[in-house]
Every structure is written in structure tokens, then in C-alpha cells.
């Protein structure tokens, strides 16, 4: 992927992966997470759909069992957020992220960004803008 992108994602940038259902966005997010962890980076993975148990099961099914070691070593923190738990999505999510990273987190992965909590594309952009400004 780094070769296709001319070196990969640049530091201190926000990158969105878009695509239809079943194209591999979550798989890509998990691969990117594992790649970052194996490079010694700490990652916060926020999921609106899958619990930590489901994520671990999927990783094990794909042969990425070392993900458990990263959780045990506290290099990976997985948070499952239910959409109904967010009353003001952008501000609540920014606060949840802030309180969830007591250590120096290198990467934050949010999957998916199309959760029903964000109702329209305009609201998605507005919420994400607010989240990242707050961080």
C-alpha cells in the first residue's frame, strides 16, 4: 500500500477510506492497525459496530493472533461505542477519545465512519471536523 500511495499516509494527517459494504474497509483498518503496532506504535481503535471480542475473533480468523499480545501490552486499546450512547456525536466522541488515551497514542482508527449516529454526509464532515479540532 505504501508503494501505491507514494510512501503511505503522511504523519499528522487525517485519512478516510470510503467504499460500499463488503469492500474491505474494516479489514484494511485492522491491517493498518496491526502494521502500526508491529512498528512499535500505540493505537486506539474505535468501533461503532464490532465489540473487542468480535474484532479479536476476526483477527484470529485472518491469522493475526499477535493482536492479543498488543492488547495485553497496552499498545492497542479497542473501544466499542454504541451510537445511542452519543448525544452530541462529535463532542462526545472527542471526549471519549481524549479520556481513552492516557498514554501517547500514535494512531486513532475509527471504524466505520458511516454509522447511523451521523445521519448525512454533511453531518459526517461537520462531526469529523469538530472531533479533530477538539483533539
pLDDT(1) > 70: no
Residue 127 lies in a domain: yes
Is residue 42 a part of any domain in this protein? yes
| Omega within 30 of 0 (cis) for the link into 112 | yes
Are 36 and 28 in contact, with CB atoms under 8 Å apart? no
Please write the tens of the pLDDT for every residue from 54-109: 999 999 999 999 999 999 999 999 988 776 555 545 556 677 677 766 567 888 89
32 against 11, higher pLDDT = 32
**Rounded to whole angstroms, how far apart are CA atoms 134 and 129?**
9
- The Cα–Cα gap between 53 and 48 comes to 13
Domain count, the chain: 1
Residue with cell 512499535: 40
CA atoms of 25 and 105, how far apart (whole Å):
22
Entry pTM: 0.79
Q: Does 8 fall in a domain?
A: no
Cβ 43 vs Cβ 105: under 8 Å: yes
Q: Which residue has the cell 468501533?
A: 47
For residue 63, the enclosing domain spans 38-134
**Residue 39, CA distances (Å) to 12, 64, 95, 125 in order:** 17, 15, 27, 30
CATH assignment of the domain containing 75: 3.40.50.300
Amino acid at each position: 500500500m505504501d508503494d501505491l500511495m507514494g510512501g503511505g499516509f503522511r504523519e499528522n494527517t487525517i485519512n478516510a477510506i470510503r467504499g460500499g459494504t463488503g469492500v474491505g474497509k474494516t479489514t484494511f483498518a485492522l491491517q493498518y492497525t496491526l502494521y502500526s503496532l508491529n512498528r512499535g506504535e500505540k493505537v486506539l481503535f474505535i468501533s461503532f459496530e464490532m465489540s473487542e471480542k468480535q474484532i479479536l475473533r476476526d483477527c484470529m480468523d485472518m491469522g493475526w493472533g499477535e493482536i492479543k499480545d498488543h492488547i495485553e501490552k497496552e499498545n492497542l486499546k479497542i473501544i466499542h461505542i454504541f451510537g445511542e450512547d452519543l448525544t452530541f456525536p462529535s463532542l462526545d466522541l472527542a471526549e471519549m477519545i481524549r479520556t481513552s488515551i492516557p498514554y501517547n497514542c500514535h494512531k486513532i482508527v475509527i471504524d466505520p465512519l458511516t454509522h447511523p449516529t451521523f445521519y448525512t454526509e454533511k453531518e459526517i464532515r461537520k462531526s469529523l471536523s469538530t472531533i479533530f479540532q477538539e483533539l
